[in-house]
C-alpha cells in the first residue's frame, strides 16, 4: 500500500453530519409531522381521492423514505471522493 | 384443477427451489455461515433483507389490521419502513466498516467489556426467540388452512424445510433462498391486489386505485368513510388513538426496526461500506412495494366485505363468504332473525365477525381469480414465514456459537465452531417448532413488544458507540439495563399484572405499552450520557476505533478478528 496522504477526517465527518441532519429533518417532517402531528390540518387539503394527511401517513411518507436513502447514497459517494476516503 | 391440487403443486415447486438453492450454496467456512463470505451483491442483499424482514404477519395480517384500524394502522406502515432510513443513515455503513459478524460483537468491542457483550447477547436471544416462535406458528396456520393438514404437521414440515437450508447453508444458503422467496411472496401479494384494484376502481395500480373512484363516481375513501359512519363506526381516514400514542408507537417501531439483530446482520454480508448504504436503499424499495400496496388491499377488503354483506340476505351472500365460514374466520349469526346481515359496532347486535387475516387470504376469491392464484398466495405466505424464521434462527445460532461459546473459549478451531453453530441452529429449530405447536398464550403479544425492547436496549448504545467517542462501558451497560428494565416493567405491569388498568387514562403521558419503547429509548440515552460523564473516558485505542469506523476507506471483508 502506498504511504497514506493526510486525510481531512474532521471536515468529512462534519459534512456527513450536515447531510444526516438535513435528511433526518425531512424524515421527521413527512412522517411524524405530516402523518401524525398535523394530519388533521393537512386532511383539509385534498389530492384527488386522498386527504393529504392520510396520504402522507399511508403512502407519501414511504415514498419519501425511499428517496431519502438514495439521495444519501448519492451524496455520500460524492463526499467520499471529495475527501479522498472512498474505498478502492 | 382443484384449489387443493394447485396449492400442493405451487407450494411443492417453491420448496423444491429453496432446497435446490440450499444444496447449491452450502456453507464451507464460519465466514460463509455467519455472513455469506461477505460477497453478496447489494441488490441481492436488498432483496434478501426484504424477505427476511417481511414476516407472516406482514404478509397475512397487516392489511387486515389496517382494514379495521383505518388511519391508526399507519403506525405499522410508517414504523416498519421509516426504520430503514435510520438503518441506512446511522447504522449500516458504520457497522459494515467495523467488519465483524454480530451486534454483540460490536457492543463488546466498542465498550471493551464482556459484561456489555453478554447483556447484548441476552437481548438478541430474547428478541429473536419471541419472534421466531410466531413465525413457526404462521407456517403451521398456512399449512393447515391451505393444505388441510393439522397445524402440528404443518409446523413439523416447516421445521424440516428450515432445518435443511438454515443448518446446511448458513447465511449463504439463507441469503440466496431469501432472494427466491422474495420473488414468490411479492408476486403472490401483487396479483390479487392488482385485479381487485381494477375491479373496484378501474386502475390496475393499487397505490393509485386507493385514491380512485368506485363505480358510482365517488372516491373510494370518501365512500368508505360514509359507509362506516352510517353504520356507527369511526371514519376510515381519521384516527381514534391519541396523537401522543400514535407518535410514540410509530417511533418505537421505527427505532426497533433499526435495532433488530436479524436485520442489522444482513448488512455485514456485502463487500463494501458503499454497498451497505445502497443495499439498505434497495431493501426499502422492495419492502415499499408491499407496504404501499397493503393499505390499498386494506381499504378494498373492508369495502368489499361491508358492501357484499351489510343488510344483504343471508341466503344470498357471495360464495367466498360461505367458503371461509367453514374455517371460522368469518362468522355470520342472525341474532334478530330478520334474515339480513347487520354489521354494527355494538357487539350485542353485530351479526358479522371477520378475522383480519381474511383480507389477504380470501383476496383471490373476492376478486374471482382462477384457482392457481389461491395456491400462489399460499406459497407466498409460506415464503414470508420461512424466510423470516430462517434469518432469526441464524442470529440465534450465531449468538450461541460465536458470542457465547467463543467469548469464553476463544481457542476452538473453525471446524468445531462451525459444528457448534449448526448444532445451535438445529436446537433453535426444534425449540421454535415446540413453541409453534404449543404456543404460550403471550407469544402473539410479545412479538409486538420485541420492537420496544430492541428500541430501548440496542439502538441507543449502537448509535452513541458510533457518534460519540466519549461514551464508555459504564454508561452503555447502565443505559441498556435502564431501557430494558423500564420497558419490560411497564409492559409486564399493564399486560400481565394489571391488565384491567390498561387504558389511556392510566398510561404515563398517554403512551400505551406498544409505544413505551420510545420512552425507554430516551431514558437509555439520558442515563448513558449522564453515567459516562461521571466515569473515565474510554481507552485511547477504542477512541481510535471510533474514528476508524467513521471513514469508509479500508473496509476489508468482514474479518475473523
Q: Which residues of B touch A50 (CB under 8 A)?
A: 210-211, 221
Quote the crossing angle between the two packed helices B516-534 and B443-467, to the nearest 10°.
30
Going by pLDDT thresholds of 50, 70 and 90, the confidence category of residue B560 is: very low
The predicted model scores a pTM of 0.91
Contact between chains at B272 and A49 (C-beta distance less than 8 A):
no
pLDDT of residue B84: 95
pLDDT of residue A1: 43
Minimal-distance CA residue of chain B relative to A55: B211
Q: Rounded to whole angstroms, how far apart are CA atoms A22 and B235?
A: 35
Nearest to A59 among B86, B239, B292 (CB): B292
Contact between chains at B221 and A50 (C-beta distance less than 8 A):
yes
Q: What DSSP assignment string belongs to B401-426? A: IIIIIHHH-TT--HHHHHHHHHHHHH
The residues in B 209-228 lying below 8 A from A, measured between CB atoms, are: 210-213, 219-222
Task: Choose among B197, B208, B188: nearest CA to B60.
Answer: B188
Low-confidence residues of chain A: pLDDT under 50 = 1-3
Contact between chains at A62 and B292 (C-beta distance less than 8 A):
yes
B127: left (phi over 0), alpha (psi -120 to 50) or beta: alpha
Task: Choose among B455, B394, B387: nearest CA to B183.
Answer: B387
Q: Rounded to whole angstroms, how far apart are CA atoms B560 and B555?
A: 13
The answer to whether residue B556 neighbours chain A at the CB level (below 8 Å) is: no
The answer to whether residue B553 neighbours chain A at the CB level (below 8 Å) is: yes
Q: Does the pLDDT of residue B516 top 80, yes or no?
A: yes
Q: CB contacts < 8 Å between A and B, how many?
A: 136
- Going by the DSSP 8-state scheme, the letter that residue A4 receives in this structure is P
Q: Hey, how many other C-beta atoms are within 10 angstroms of the C-beta on A11?
A: 12
Q: Which residues of B touch A32 (CB under 8 A)?
A: 247, 250-251
> What's the pLDDT tens digit per position in B322-367?
888 877 778 888 888 888 889 988 888 899 888 888 888 888 888 8
Minimal-distance CA residue of chain B relative to A48: B211
Going by pLDDT thresholds of 50, 70 and 90, the confidence category of residue B125 is: confident
The residues in B 58-87 lying below 8 A from A, measured between CB atoms, are: 66, 71, 73-74, 77-78, 81-82, 84-86
User: Who has greater pLDDT, B243 or B129?
Assistant: B243
- Mean pLDDT across chain B: 87
Going by pLDDT thresholds of 50, 70 and 90, the confidence category of residue B216 is: confident
B83: exposed, middle or buried (C-beta count within 10 Å: 0-12, 13-18, 19+)? Answer: buried
pLDDT of residue A28: 97
Nearest to B553 among A23, A40, A85 (CB): A85
pLDDT of residue B2: 80
Which position has the grid cell 431501557?
B483
User: What is the residue extent of each domain of chain A?
Assistant: 9-82
Q: Does the pLDDT of residue B447 top 80, yes or no?
A: no
Going by pLDDT thresholds of 50, 70 and 90, the confidence category of residue B458 is: confident
pLDDT of residue B499: 80
Q: Which residues of B touch A10 (CB under 8 A)?
A: none
Q: Give the bridge partners for B219, in sequence order.
A: B213
CA distance A62 to chain B (A): 7
Nearest to A80 among B73, B220, B552 (CB): B552
The answer to whether residue A29 neighbours chain B at the CB level (below 8 Å) is: no
Q: Does the pLDDT of residue B209 top 90, yes or no?
A: yes
Q: Give the bridge partners for B331, in sequence order.
A: B353
Q: Does the pLDDT of residue B210 top 60, yes or no?
A: yes
User: Would you mind telling me the total number of residues written for chain B in this entry?
Assistant: 561
Mean pLDDT of B149-170: 80
pLDDT of residue A5: 56
pLDDT of residue B446: 65
Most confident of B128-142, B161-175, B257-271, B500-514: B257-271
Contact between chains at B284 and A65 (C-beta distance less than 8 A):
yes
pLDDT of residue B514: 85
pLDDT of residue A3: 47
- Domains and their CATH numbers in chain B: 3-312+359-550 (1.20.1730.10)
Mean pLDDT of B62-68: 91
Contact between chains at A24 and B284 (C-beta distance less than 8 A):
no
Nearest to A86 among B219, B280, B553 (CB): B553
Please report the ipTM that was assigned to this predicted complex. 0.93
| Alpha-carbon dihedral angle through residues B542, B128, B50, B462, given to the nearest 10 degrees | -20
User: Who has greater pLDDT, B174 or A30?
Assistant: A30
Mean pLDDT of B157-180: 83
Q: Give the bridge partners for B411, in sequence order.
A: none
Going by pLDDT thresholds of 50, 70 and 90, the confidence category of residue B561 is: very low
Alpha-carbon distances of B122 from B128, B496, B521, rounded to whole Å: 10, 22, 18
Going by pLDDT thresholds of 50, 70 and 90, the confidence category of residue B413 is: confident
Minimal-distance CA residue of chain A relative to B284: A66
Strands A50-51 and A46-47: antiparallel
Amino acid at each position: 500500500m502506498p504511504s497514506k496522504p493526510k486525510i481531512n477526517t474532521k471536515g468529512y465527518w462534519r459534512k456527513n453530519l450536515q447531510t444526516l441532519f438535513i435528511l433526518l429533518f425531512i424524515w421527521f417532517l413527512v412522517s411524524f409531522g405530516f402523518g401524525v402531528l398535523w394530519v388533521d390540518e393537512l386532511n383539509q387539503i385534498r389530492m384527488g381521492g386522498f386527504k393529504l394527511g392520510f396520504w402522507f401517513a399511508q403512502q407519501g411518507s414511504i415514498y419519501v423514505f425511499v428517496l431519502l436513502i438514495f439521495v444519501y447514497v448519492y451524496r455520500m459517494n460524492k463526499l467520499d471522493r471529495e475527501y479522498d476516503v472512498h474505498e478502492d | 384443477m382443484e384449489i387443493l391440487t394447485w396449492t400442493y403443486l405451487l407450494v411443492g415447486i417453491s420448496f423444491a427451489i429453496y432446497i435446490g438453492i440450499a444444496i447449491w450454496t452450502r456453507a464451507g467456512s464460519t465466514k460463509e455461515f455467519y455472513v455469506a463470505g461477505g460477497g453478496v451483491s447489494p441488490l441481492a442483499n436488498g432483496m434478501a433483507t426484504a424477505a427476511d424482514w417481511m414476516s407472516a404477519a406482514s404478509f397475512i395480517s397487516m392489511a387486515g389490521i389496517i382494514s379495521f384500524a383505518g388511519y391508526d394502522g399507519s403506525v405499522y406502515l410508517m414504523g416498519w419502513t421509516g426504520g430503514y432510513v435510520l438503518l441506512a443513515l446511522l447504522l449500516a455503513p458504520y457497522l459494515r466498516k467495523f467488519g465483524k459478524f454480530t451486534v454483540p460483537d460490536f457492543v463488546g468491542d466498542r465498550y471493551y467489556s464482556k459484561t456489555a457483550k453478554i447483556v447484548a447477547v441476552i437481548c438478541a436471544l430474547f428478541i429473536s426467540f419471541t419472534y421466531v416462535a410466531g413465525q413457526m406458528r404462521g407456517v403451521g396456520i398456512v399449512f393447515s388452512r391451505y393444505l388441510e393438514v393439522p397445524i402440528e404437521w404443518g409446523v413439523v414440515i416447516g421445521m424440516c424445510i428450515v432445518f435443511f437450508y438454515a443448518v446446511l447453508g448458513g447465511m449463504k444458503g439463507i441469503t440466496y433462498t431469501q432472494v427466491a422467496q422474495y420473488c414468490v411472496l411479492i408476486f403472490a401479494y401483487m396479483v390479487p391486489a392488482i385485479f381487485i384494484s381494477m375491479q373496484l376502481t378501474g386502475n390496475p395500480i393499487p397505490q393509485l386505485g386507493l385514491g380512485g373512484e368506485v363505480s358510482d363516481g365517488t372516491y373510494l375513501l370518501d365512500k368508505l368513510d360514509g359507509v362506516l359512519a352510517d353504520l356507527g363506526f369511526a371514519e376510515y381516514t381519521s384516527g381514534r388513538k391519541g396523537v401522543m400514542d400514535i407518535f410514540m408507537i410509530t417511533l418505537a417501531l421505527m427505532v426497533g426496526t433499526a435495532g433488530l439483530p436479524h436485520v442489522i446482520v444482513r448488512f455485514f454480508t456485502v463487500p463494501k461500506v458503499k454497498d451497505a448504504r445502497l443495499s439498505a436503499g434497495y431493501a426499502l424499495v422492495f419492502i415499499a412495494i408491499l407496504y404501499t400496496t397493503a393499505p390499498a388491499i386494506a381499504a378494498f377488503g373492508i369495502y368489499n366485505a361491508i358492501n357484499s354483506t351489510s343488510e344483504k340476505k343471508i341466503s344470498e351472500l357471495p360464495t367466498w363468504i360461505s367458503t371461509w365460514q367453514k374455517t371460522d374466520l368469518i362468522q355470520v349469526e342472525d341474532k334478530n332473525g330478520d334474515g339480513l346481515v347487520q354489521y354494527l359496532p355494538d357487539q350485542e347486535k353485530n351479526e358479522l365477525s371477520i378475522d383480519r387475516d381474511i383480507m389477504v387470504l380470501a383476496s383471490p376469491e373476492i376478486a374471482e381469480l382462477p384457482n392457481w392464484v389461491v395456491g400462489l398466495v399460499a406459497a407466498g405466505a409460506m415464503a414470508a414465514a420461512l424466510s423470516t424464521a430462517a434469518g432469526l434462527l441464524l442470529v440465534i445460532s450465531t449468538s450461541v456459537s460465536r458470542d457465547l461459546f467463543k467469548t469464553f473459549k476463544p481457542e476452538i478451531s473453525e471446524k468445531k465452531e462451525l459444528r457448534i453453530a449448526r448444532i445451535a441452529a438445529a436446537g433453535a429449530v426444534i425449540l421454535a417448532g415446540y413453541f409453534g405447536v404449543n404456543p404460550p398464550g403471550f407469544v402473539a403479544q410479545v412479538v409486538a413488544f420485541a420492537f420496544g425492547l430492541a428500541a430501548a436496549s440496542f439502538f441507543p448504545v449502537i448509535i452513541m458507540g458510533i457518534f460519540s467517542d466519549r461514551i464508555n462501558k459504564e454508561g452503555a451497560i447502565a443505559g441498556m439495563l435502564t431501557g430494558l428494565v423500564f420497558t419490560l416493567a411497564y409492559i409486564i405491569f399493564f399486560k400481565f399484572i394489571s391488565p384491567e388498568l390498561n387504558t389511556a387514562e392510566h398510561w404515563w403521558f398517554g403512551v400505551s405499552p406498544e409505544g413505551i419503547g420510545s420512552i425507554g429509548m430516551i431514558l437509555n440515552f439520558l442515563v448513558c450520557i449522564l453515567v459516562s460523564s461521571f466515569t473515565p473516558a474510554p481507552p485511547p485505542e477504542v477512541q481510535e476505533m471510533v474514528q476508524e469506523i467513521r471513514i469508509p476507506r479500508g473496509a476489508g471483508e468482514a474479518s475473523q478478528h
